Amino acid sequence: MFVRKCVADNKQVVAFFSFKMIVIEVQSFSKSLQKSANSNSAGQSTGLLLAWMGRDETVDNCGKALMREVFLHAITAHKIAAYSLLVVDALLDNLVSFYEHFGFRRVPSDTRRLVMKASALLKIAERLN
């Protein structure tokens, strides 16, 4: 597991996130997503799970900056150990649209699990650099 803290100039932790490598079942995904997920014969693929993420609620408008950090570190992780999907499990229903805004797509069989193809993540990397 990888954990990252985002610290303000005053040394206060304002946000954090963590990643964990997982095996993800992709049998219920669309055919195109299954194909891009490079699934094996058992319908499984590799994923990088955005396991925990949070921010100090007293700090306004840091969601976009936090997701930028998530993407930059997810790209670095992909260079070290390639995976097919970036995965997030939204804690609350209202967070689903937050993740969709950044390019995640809902998994058909799970209302709060969202994924992003690694290829889409790499395109985001081009825009961030």
Cα 55 to Cα 66, 97, 105: the distances in Å are 8, 17, 23
2-128 is classed CATH 3.30.565.10: no
| Domain boundaries, given as residue ranges, for the chain | 2-128
State the pLDDT at residue 23. Answer: 95
89, HSE (Cβ side, Cα atoms, 13 Å)? 12
115 vs 84: CA distance, rounded Å: 10
Nearest one of 27, 125, 38, 24 to 84, comparing CA atoms: 38
Q: What is the pLDDT along the chain (129 residues), one digit of tens a residue?
A: 777 777 778 888 778 889 999 999 888 888 878 777 887 878 889 999 999 888 877 777 777 888 888 999 999 999 999 999 999 999 999 999 999 999 999 988 777 999 999 989 888 877 876
pTM: 0.86
Looking at this protein, which amino acid is placed at residue 79? K
